[in-house]
Structure 1
């Protein structure tokens, strides 16, 4: 790839993230002006911490969407891993062992979705919708439809992963680390390039000999793994296994990805953009509490903000593209 092409892709990534950053800053400032208590450090940290679980799912979902796939099972995976971890700890296993089991299980479940999608040639939408129901059904059966409590909350697992580090919830630090790692994986590695190539033009990728099946399985496996990381942090924070947890998280994660610059058409994406997009949705939800908006209007308000954010981001990107095209008119690669 030439220097000009690299520069074009880098500027494109910056444009993808500029819109959501501007929207987030304006949103936080507007709410803070109307409700100064919203800007308290404790409230901002609480809002970000509440966004961690979906944020991790959105970061993994970028890889699936960039391949023109979709993973509707992350919410079910999240619920199942929380329940499995709680059952293992309740039955005497070390929480650290339970954590490893959770992560391995989540990655296998995601990869299993990829295997079924690839080798049975079924749409990932249908496969992951079905597996989400399966995972939730297993979680409900394992928990007998009840919350699993009575876990040893004094164990370091809960104190470390469910506590604070340097005054900031550990889950936020983990989200930041995961965002950096996955952003590099998506933008700077051969695997990320394959994901983008398959999403851009599957036929061309097939003719060029790219391992499409393996790439799809790994991408969906990564999506499942990130739901498992969310499950570990959810178990550590809530210190219980709730089989009903995570309902609707998959749709919120997809919305966050789209807001953050990852289109359903595939071929490109932004891990930081997806995480910031989810922060926008979390900020909206938190601000509604301060404005005492009736719960019946919460979903309506969130949907309206999604439309406004996507439209605003789209306008910024079109203007940025026009500027870039003017700046580079007449140049050759």
Structure 2
């Protein structure tokens, strides 16, 4: 029912946008919306894994920045593109693993651990790049296909998102690891008593989040052909909004990748509508923040009603 409601919200938003602005149905604009859905969606899949365990990852934007400037430097040094891609994904995974280790081995709350990593990561990106954008013009054309290319009429990032979403949905639905994620998010103590390695499960979801943040960074710099130390700023807000709008509970144990896909589409269409109407980026942040608060409030009210009905 929730997924059906999200579909109707998306349809109504698109209908209203098409009615009030001729530019919305322009093929070029629709392609841009699909690109935004893909970029937001890939990193939001990682956030979905984390939030399903009742965690949070505030560091994804900084991970994107670190991978972006590092990969740009490697490309500028004329390293082979496959090697740079592997290095970027590895850096993202390592930073995600650092989050997971701090939370599971150090006992640091996810909010504090990822907040610290967010600050350190942004500082690291600034240090590596000396605060300046890093261009890699020598191999820009060869690397641009990942972010700017098309395959069967659709942007390559859209196909990457489709693959990531399909793999993630299959992992959550058909594997023991996926069931463990839901169990840990619902009740970690009960999961531990049932023989689930809670720490290993939590560690792996943060590693996955870091890996997908690294993938997002590679697509991002491929599209712009520059590594920006400020890349990914505010991306954690987008990912949290998408995940919560998509029906993943911030309290853990409830959510689906299909909801995250719809959430990414809703946020991307909303951002596009606001841009078409010339709404300032600052006002857009207010709108997105209000959406997060409203979605969480709705979840709290829904849980209270369910609790009353169960005990009534």
Contact kept, 8 Å, 1:107 with 1:221, in 2: the verdict is: yes
* Change in 2 beyond 3 A, CA 1:68/1:302: closer
What residue is the counterpart of 1:270 in the other structure? 256
Does residue 187 of structure 1 match 2:196? no
Deviation, structure 1 residue 305: 4.9
What corresponds to 2:42 in structure 1?
A: 56
Deviation at 1:307, TM superposition (A): 5.9
Q: Distance in 2 between matches of 1:104 and 1:131?
A: 16
Task: Give the match for residue 90 of structure 2.
Answer: 104
Using a 3 Å threshold, how does the CA distance of structure 1 residues 160 and 129 change in structure 2: closer, same or farther?
A: closer
Give distance in 2, aligned partners of 1:202 and 1:314. 20
Partner Cα separation in structure 2 for residue 311 and residue 127 of structure 1: 25
Distance 2:231 2:106 in 1: 30
1:175 aligns with 161
CA distance in 2, matches of 1:135, 1:295: 24
Quick one: distance in 2 between partners of 1:280 and 1:307?
16
Q: What is the DSSP-based 3-state SS (H/G/I as helix, E as strand, rest coil) of the residue aligned with 2:137?
A: coil
1:42/1:110 CA distance change after superposition, 3 Å:
same
Please state how far the C-alpha of 1:83 moved relative to its aligned partner. Answer: 0.8
Contact 1:143 1:243 in 2 (8 A): yes
TM normalised by structure 2 equals 0.91
The residue correspondences of 1:211-290 to structure 2 (distance < 5 A) are: 211-290=197-276
Q: Distance in 1 between matches of 2:270 and 2:183?
A: 34
Q: CA deviation at 1:280?
A: 1.2
The answer as to whether partners of 2:103 and 2:110 remain within 8 angstroms in 1 is yes
Q: CA deviation at 1:265?
A: 0.8
Question: Match for 1:39 among 14, 25, 28?
Answer: 25
Q: The residue matched to 1:38 in structure 2 has which SS?
A: coil
Task: Calculate the TM-score normalised by the size of structure 1.
Answer: 0.85
Q: Contact 1:52 / 1:230 at 8 angstroms: preserved in 2? A: no
Q: Which has the larger radius of gyration?
A: 1
8 Å contact from structure 1 (residues 20, 309) kept in 2: no
Residue 146 of structure 1 is matched in structure 2 by 132
> Which is further off, 40-49 or 218-227?
40-49
5+ residue gaps, structure 1: 1-14, 326-333
Cα distance change, pair 168–131 in 1 and its aligned pair in 2 (3 A)? same
**Offset at residue 75 of structure 1 (A):** 0.6
Pick closer, same or farther for the CA change 1:105–1:150 going to 2, 3 Å: closer
Q: Give the superposition deviation at 1:252.
A: 1.4
Q: How many residues are paired up?
A: 305
RMSD of the alignment, in Å? Answer: 2.3
